[in-house]
Amino acid sequence: MSVKQKACALRYPKDADAPFISVSGRGTRAEKIIQIAKENKIPLVKDDALVEVLSIQEVGSLIPEETYSAIASIFAFIAKMEDGDGGKELFESRSR
């Protein structure tokens, strides 16, 4: 049995209480989500355990509280990248 690729995208509007799941998919849909992210230069972070938790949530729902710390680390990593501070170490530690 082959393992299908999974992907989730998050949004965190300024007025939101927490980030929410804007799209989720597996297999071909996950590949499309990743392709669109790459084409639009949206940062990607590989975290198999996190995507397992997020992929079972409803699209449009806030992320589960148990993922706050992991998601905060990812958003901090993205902010560092956008500020030009790198963030490579965090990405490498999250993807191991």
Q: Extract the tokens encoding 7.
A: 């992907």
Nearest to 62 by CA among 20, 24, 23: 20
pLDDT of residue 85: 57
Q: How far apart are CA 57 and CA 46, in angstroms?
A: 18
Do 11 and 20 contact (CB within 8 A), yes or no? yes
What is the reported pTM? Answer: 0.77
Nearest to 96 by CA among 34, 54, 46: 46
The whole-number average pLDDT for the span 6-18 is 93
Query: What's the pLDDT tens digit per position in 54-73?
Result: 999 999 999 999 999 999 99
